[in-house]
Each structure stands twice: as C-alpha cells, then as structure tokens.
Chain A
Amino acid sequence: DTGVSQNPRHKITKRGQNVTFRCDPISEHNRLYWYRQTLGQGPEFLTYFQNEAQLEKSRLLSDRFSAERPKGSFSTLEIQRTEQGDSAMYLCASSPSPISGNTIYFGEGSWLTVV
C-alpha cells in the first residue's frame, strides 16, 4: 500500500496523559499536513511541513501540541497534558508540490478519545 499511513488508528487516553501520532506520507511527497476533525465538522488545518521545515502553524495548535518531521519523511504529532476537548480525529495528508491545482492525499486518520 503506497498511500498515507497513520498510526495508531485509535487511541484512548486519560486526561493529562501525553499521546503521539505518527504519519508516513506517500514517498517523494515533500509536503505533509496535519488536520483535526470533530464530529459534524470539516477538517481544520493545524500545520504543514515542506520537507523537514514547519512552514505554517494554525492558532489551533496550542503550546501543548508539537509536530515534527525530522528527516523530511515521516512526521509525528504529540499532544501533551491531553484535555477532553482534544478528542477528535487527527488527519495527516501529503502532496508532491504546492497544493493549488494538485492533489492532496489523506490518510485514514487517528481517532483520539480523552476520558
């Protein structure tokens, strides 16, 4: 399978714990995006990388959230001191070039439930 891969697919954690999600983009895609989606809403942009550089971060990405893409390949999204409001699906996507006019491919998402 050469699509965008995310893991874990599901995570249940207690409030206050830290969680980390991993995303493996389609190989040779230099752009990688993280989005968050809650029930009944469209995905909301969190951040994106071009290669290893994090070029843009949304105001939604509080200081408890950190994303990395150390070698320009896979990426991790860490949430520290989780809160119930963090419960959502976290989507990763990749594209080969600036997305205007080009295709962006999403992974299957990582569901987070904070109890």
Chain B
Amino acid sequence: TQLLEQSPQFLSIQEGENLTVYCNSSSVFSSLQWYRQEPGEGPVLLVTVVTGGEVKKLKRLTFQFGDARKDSSLHITAAQPGDTGLYLCAGAGGETSGSRLTFGEGTQLTVNP
C-alpha cells in the first residue's frame, strides 16, 4: 500500500521558472524528509521537517510541513538546470511505518536551459 502520493510525477520546465511539488498522505507522520536523487546514485537528504506547520528554507528551496503532519510541499524558486533530479518525500514514525521510512514514488524534475 502506497502511503505517500507525490504530484506531479513528471515536471519539465525552463530555467528561471518556479515550481511546487506536493506530497500527500492519509497518515500522520512524526517527521517528513525530502531527498534528491540523481541517476545511479543514492538519495541525498535535503531537509527534515518535524513540527506541523513548519517552514524551512534552503537557499532557493522552501519546504513546508502541513499542520496535520499529513502532507508537505517543496517549492523551488528560479529553477536552474542543476536542480534536475528525482525528488522524493519520505515519512517517518507514521501509523503503519513504525521505524521505517515510507517513500513516495518521486517527482522527476527536468530544468531546461
């Protein structure tokens, strides 16, 4: 059972555009993590959000954790080709996930120069 749904699944934009990726669940998570993964490599952690309503900024990336800790979003401002990659959200400490991370299927972002 897929507990985390990401949208969109694919996104192709031009350099300089803004974008938002969504991660939704019917489950409550204690924390939610966002990763970026490049082909043939393991996921690299971008951020962990813990508190409902929390907003974290990492340069041009803004992460938000929903008030109910069931959803999250990643907003990228002025996207660059170097932002291209697979963005994964993962929930921890959920009702059924226990000690594991439960991943969404990812959003494949392509930023064209």
Q: Which residues of A contact B (CB under 8 A)?
A: 4, 6, 31, 33, 35, 40-45, 48, 55-56, 89, 91, 93, 98-109, 111
Contact = CB atoms under 8 A, between A and B. Distances in A.
Contacts of B48: 101-103
A91 B42 contact: yes
Interface of B: 4, 30-31, 33, 35, 40-45, 48, 50, 88, 90, 92-93, 98-106
Q: Which 5 A-B pairs have the closest CB atoms?
A: A100-B93, A42-B103, A106-B42, A100-B30, A45-B100
A99 B100 CA distance: 7
A63 B48 CA distance: 34
B103 A99 contact: no
A89 B92 CA distance: 22
Contact of B99 (A6, A99, A105, A109): A99
B101 A44 contact: no
A55 to B, nearest CB: 7
Given A103-B33, A106-B44, 17 more contacts: A40-B105, A40-B106, A42-B105, A43-B43, A43-B101, A56-B98, A56-B99, A56-B100, A89-B40, A93-B101, A99-B93, A100-B92, A102-B48, A104-B45, A108-B41, A109-B40, A109-B41
